[in-house]
Each structure stands twice: as structure tokens, then as C-alpha cells.
Structure 1
Amino acid sequence: MVSSCTVIPSSGPSADTIQSGAKTAEAPYVLVNVTQAVADMLAKSQERPLSVAFGSSRKKSSSRIGVGDVVSVVIWEASQNGLFSSGEKGIGAAQIPPQPVSENGTIVVPYAGVVRVADRSPQEVKADIEKALSGMAVEPQVLVNVVANNSNTVTVTGEVAKSGLIPLLPGDNRLLDVIATAGGPRMESHQLAVQITRGSKSETIPMERLISDPRENIHVQSSDVITLIRQPRSFTVFGASMANASVQFDESQLYLNQALAKVGGLNDDRANARGIFIYRREPVDMVRKMVPTAHPTHADGTVNVIYQVDLKDPSGFFILKGFKVSNRDLIYIANSSLAEIRKFSTLISTTVSPIVQGAAVASNINDLSN
């Protein structure tokens, strides 16, 4: 009977098991006791603005001509007998057919020859053409216009009204401006994340954060890829809570006290108030600020981290209000030792009760037979 009760049913490890496991050399996770300082540091690390990842300054003016742009050149001349005059009535203009900028960054203008235009402004190209024609044309005046701005574009795709290449306009081109030019998002902002890819670097933030935080509305650059991704965020709760569930949330910033409230809070009869655990993967560089000996447990340089919150500490509820829940977090609430004792007692009584009842029945039968 006793041996049958040695394994007590449980929804997960005890707080003591988690704590002792973290002390072993081969532990596949790092345990971090959450203080207010730890919560504040985690909040700052999660709030890294795009201006830090990509920089906040514009790389170059979108008015610069690039390879692949289509350029139109119009030439006026102050003489009816000039190279570019329109005829007998005198002063006129000649329009050179629009032409794409070659791989070498040049276009061809009659009598001016090959003209370098790549990475130059239309005004600079205009001055060069006028100078080249000054010995052949009479007071030439040139107008250079970019008909198709193919080199200064960004790609917008995903959950937008109209995916495609968006040309950058002269002046200030910011992330929200480009998304609006593409017709805006096709669904509510709380359901979306915005991914920006520039070269080999990619960052993703919630759409709501992009809207609410001016720091995130960075300058876009040529060849950026902007993707709106439908990304419902959720967390999972197991253990001694009033409900075990996977919960989706719309808030751009969800705190641990709000997350626990969504499942009805802790189960008073079972929960260990010192054993609130949050399971998450974090970059090793960030974890080493809390645990200097931490080392990567995954090939991508991340570490399995278990954050522990102690609600027996009077300041624990302040920590709940400052600890941000991330997408796909797993929150586990360990059972209290008293709950384990109750389970053991229940198993004992369940096992012993039939024996006692059987003994009583046997005694009654003996009494009747006598």
C-alpha cells in the first residue's frame, strides 16, 4: 500500500526541484530570481527601438539618380538655327527619348555623348550636359527629370492593401508613410507585427508599438523590405492556477499581473506563492548581465531561462506589475507542499478505505454467524 503511493500525481515539478536542478553543472536552463532591478532591465531590453537596430538618420537623398531609373532630358536653345531648335518659328525645345540608366551609371545625350548620372542629382546632371553642349548649341538650357524612380524603392508586402514596390519621394520617407502609401494594413493593428529587413539584418516589432512610439517610425532606405505579419500573441499557463490555458492577448504591453488575472489568478488551495515561474528563451548576451556564467543552450545563441517570482515577498506584487510578458511565454505555478501532503493523504485514504470497509463487513458477518 505504501509503495503504491510513492508517486504523487502533479502537473509539474515542485519549486524545490526547479531550484535544485538549476544548481547542477549540466542544467539545461538558468534560474533567475526576479527583483525590481531585473524586471526593469528586462523591460528595457524588450524596448530596443528600431533607431538603435538600424540607425535614425537618412542614408542618402531619394532625389539621387540610380542604376535602373528612367531619365528624360529636354534641351532648349536660344536660336532657330540651333541644333535643338524646333524650326522656323525660332526658339524651341528637343526632348530626348526617356532612357534607363545603364549598369555603368550612364545615359547618352546627342552631341554631349555619354553622361554619368548614377548617384547624382538631376541638377548636377543638368549642369554637366549644358557644359558639354556650350560649344555647339546656342545658350542651351537643359531639364533633367526622373520618369521612373526604380532604384529608390522599398518593397512592402504581407497584410497590406496593396503589396509592391513603393518609390521613395524626395524628402522624408518614414516607415508609417510607406505603409500608408501601400494602402495601410488590412486588419486591426493589434493583430499585426512589422518586420523590417535591411541587408542581412531583420527586426520585428508589434504594429501598435510602431504607431505609439515615435522612435520606431524610422527613416526607410532603398531596398528595404517591409512585411506586415499577422501575429496573434499568446502565453500559456500551467500548474496551480484557476485555469490552465493558452491565452491570446491584444495589449502591446502585457504585464504578469494582467496575465495571471486572465486565467483567474492563483489557486489558493494549491499554489505555492513562492513558485511563480516564467519559461523563456533569451539571448545569451542579455542573460549574462544577470548570470555571468550563462552559456548558450541553443545553436542560435539563446539560453533557456526560468524567471522566478516570490509573492510571499511584500514587494512581489510590484514586480508583477513591472514584469512584461512576451509572446509564447510559459507561466508555471508550482504546487505548495501542503497541497502535496493533501494529495498524499487523499491517496492513503483512498487506498485504506476499502480495506477498512472490508474488515468491517467481515466483522459483521462473523458477529451474525455467532
Structure 2
Amino acid sequence: MRGRVVVRGGRSWLRKYRAASSLNRLCALLIAGLLPACSVIPGSHLSMPAMTWFQKDAASETADIDVNFVAITPGLISEMGAQPRLIEPLSAMQQLQRESELQAYQYRIGRGDTLNITVYEHPELTIPAGSFRSAEEGGNQVGPDGTFYFPYAGMVEALGKTTQEVRNVLVTRLSRVIEQPQVDVKVVGFQSQKVYVSGEVVRPAVVPIKTTPLTLIEAISEVGGLGVLADWRHIQLTRDGIGKQIDLRAILEDGDWRNNVMLRGGDILHIPRNDSQKIYVMGEVRQPSAVLIGRDSVTLTQAIAEAGGIDEAQANARGIFVLRNAEKRVLENGKARYMATVYQLDASSASGFLLANEFHLRPRDVVYITAAPVARWNRLITQLLPSLIFTDQAQGLE
């Protein structure tokens, strides 16, 4: 496998490299997360002239991996913090449509629902709830055929109707025996429309849809909220056999209310665990490990601290790298090509760790701290690159 590095700031291209032979070693390390740096990069301390690190190679145009090499500087941190919001606010028309949808919502009666019907001034037609019987137990249940029986009205079709529509039918039929009947219809038992909430929540449960619309956030609140290990970025909503991924964090933190969808009967809402949302910290740290990303983001400083800190006796403070998600692209010839970004931090001064504390990591980032001097980083990065492809492919298999 050959690749090239695009250097930020107009520097020349990184010479071609071959990294396929190290893929299996990197895969094993990412799974175990416990091996020291010397076993990760065999021969990484080989001498290599600094002058041969960056050079343009025409053959690299056909490489399988393109790498954008970026130094972590105050300017980069400022640029990342000033990036425009990826989520545009709802337009006035979209907001109006959403409000209209919620206001127009009406509960449709279904099989198994229980109705409480009151005919005023005619208590003989009303089944009292009493102290030992709830309104649901004393109500009129809609049968499997979608009908229920009511005195002097006979079998009444209720399936798919609103309470107002059922009331109109009862008034018409009772008018034959009662002068100007005053009728009230309420649903007191909701059994026909349910949303199934499973996964990493406090109390997985079946949530009934009632007379007010049930949105995604309300459904999660009904089951006690998210669990500690919930992956709130990849909530799965399945409707009519079709799955949709929803980012709850975008709803709550970025205000993207498009995804706070109104749920329907039969919807399945699954909140997965965030086990796969990890950052891999390797190299010259005291405890190479996989750092789990919780509800809050993790900075580079936090990730290194979780791994026990830098091994000051071995680590090169100028060689702290963050290898970021190799994005897969398919060329016209059908060949796969990857675009990765390698960030490099110089922590030889205190200001470096201040920058690290402002640099936020993403799931599947690989943090590597090397003992190699600058002239040997070329070989190190070359052998680490396949790990980005591996973690990306492994994520797709989960």
C-alpha cells in the first residue's frame, strides 16, 4: 500500500511509503491496547536522514492513503472553535410546519383501548368508577373488531376515530331515546399504540402513545433518561421496518429539533451502548489503553491522563500525534482510497499542554506518543496509518 502526505501550510509532499505489512500488528494492538510502543513499531528507531522526510513523488498520485499533516497551534484551536455550525436553524416555514403538525395531532382510537363514556343526567348509562374500580376497569373496551357496545346505541365503530367522532355517533343514536343527550367520551386506557424503548436507558419499557403527541425526547424521559453508558449520538429509530439513526446530542446541544420526531405506534427506539466510542492511546504512556468517550467530549490532555500520563523518561515531547478517521472514497476505477488527518503537538513547553487541553478528540482517534526523534517520524506515521483504516472497517462491521 502506498500513500502520500499533504502538508498544511504549503510544505512539500511526504515521500511514498509502504505500510501494508504493519496492518496485522496494528490491528492486534488496537484490540489489546496494552502493548508498549516498542512492540508496536518494530524498527521505528532506525536512523533516517531528516532531509529525505518530505519530498514530492509523482508515483504517490496513485496512492491508497492521502494524509493531511497538521500542526496543533493556537491558530488551529481558534479555527476549530470558530467553525460554523453544521446544523442550520429551522426556517420560519419549517418551524410553522412543525408547530402545525403538533397542533393538528389527534389521537385515533384503536383495538384494546378503553373509553369512559358519560351521559349527563342519565347515571344509569354511566358505569361508575368507584373506590375499588378504576375508570379503565369500568370503561368500555374496544374489541378486536374495532367496536364497543353501548346501551341504546348498539355496537359502535370506534377504530380509527377520534373521541369527538365517537361522541357524534353516540349523540345521534341516543337522540332516539333521550332528548338532546349530553355525551362526553374520553380514552382512559391506552393499549393500541405503543413505542418500544430498549437499550441503554434507566428503565427499558413500552411507552403508550396518549392524547398528546409523544416525541423522541419525551419517550426517553418516560423511561428515566439515558443510562451512564448510552451512546446518545447513534440512537436507532425503526419505523415500518426501516431504520434511521438520530443524534440526540445534536438535538439537545445544537438545537436541531428536526430529529425530535413525533413517534407513532409500533416505533422501536433503541439506545446502544457507547462501547465502540473509544479513543486509542498508545506509545510512550504508562498505561496504553482505550479511552471511552462519555456524554462529554474528551480532550487530548484528558486522554493522555487516562492512560497514566506520558512516560517522561522515554517520550519525545515533540512527537504527540493524533491520527484521525480515514474517510473512505471509491474512485471511478472502483479502487478504495482513504483520506486521513494526522495532527502533531509539540508539548516540549507548558503552552503545548494548554493547546492539548483545548483539542477535542473524536471517536476512533488514535493518539500516539513516540520516543523517536523528528527524523524518524516518517517511518512511525507510515506504520500507524493502516490502523485508521482498520478501526473504520471494524466500526462498519459492528
Separation in 2, partners of 1:100, 1:214:
42
Residue matched to 2:356: 320
Task: Please give the TM-score of this superposition, normalised by the length of structure 2.
Answer: 0.54
Distance 1:338 1:213, change over 3 A: closer
Q: Offset of 1:273 from its aligned partner? A: 2.8
CA distance in 1, matches of 2:278, 2:55: 26
Q: Residue 395 of structure 2 corresponds to which residue in structure 1?
A: none
Q: Alignment partner for residue 197 of structure 1, among 205, 212, 237?
A: 237
Letter in 2 for 1:155: Y
8 Å Cα contact 2:238-2:268 kept in structure 1: yes
- Within a 5 Å distance, the mapping from 1:120-269 to structure 2 comes to 120-135=161-176, 137-171=178-212, 173=214, 175=216, 177-183=218-224, 189=228, 191-194=229-232, 195-199=235-239, 200-205=243-248, 218=260, 220-222=262-264, 223-232=266-275, 233-241=277-285, 244-248=288-292, 250=294, 252-263=296-307, 264-265=309-310
Alignment check: 8 A CA contact 1:63 1:169 kept: no
Q: How far did residue 77 of structure 1 move?
A: 7.7
How many residue pairs are counted as aligned between the two chains?
A: 298
Contact 2:167 2:185 in 1 (8 A): yes
Aligned to 2:17: none
The CA deviation at 1:93 is 1.2
Larger CA Rg, structure 1 vs 2: 1
**Native 8 Å contact 1:75 1:140 kept in 2:** no
Identity %: 17
CA deviation after TM superposition for structure 1 residue 155, in Å: 1.1
- Structure 2 SS opposite 1:201: strand
CA 1:303/1:17 → structure 2, altered by over 3 Å: closer, same or farther? same
C-alpha distance in 1, partners of 2:360/2:337? 19
Partner in structure 1 of residue 324 of structure 2: 279
Q: Which runs of 5+ in 2 are unaligned?
A: 1-40, 128-138, 378-398
Q: Is the 8 A contact 1:70 1:101 kept in 2?
A: no
Pick from 111, 116, 122: which aligns with 1:68? 111
Distance 1:303 1:173 in 2: 42
**What residue identity is the alignment partner of 2:125?**
A
Distance 1:72 1:246, change over 3 A: closer
Q: State the Cα deviation string for residues 79-129 of structure 1 (Å, max 9, x = none).
A: xxxxxx7xxxxx731668421475xx76676647654651x4313431243
Range moving further from structure 2, 161-170 or 105-114 = 105-114
Aligned partner of residue 107 in structure 2, secondary structure: coil
Which residue does the alignment assign to 1:10? 44
Secondary structure of 1:123's aligned partner: helix
Distance across 2 between alignment mates of 1:19 and 1:146: 75
Tell me if structure 1 keeps the 8 A contact 2:325–2:340: yes
**Counterparts of 1:272 and 1:278, CA distance in 2:** 17
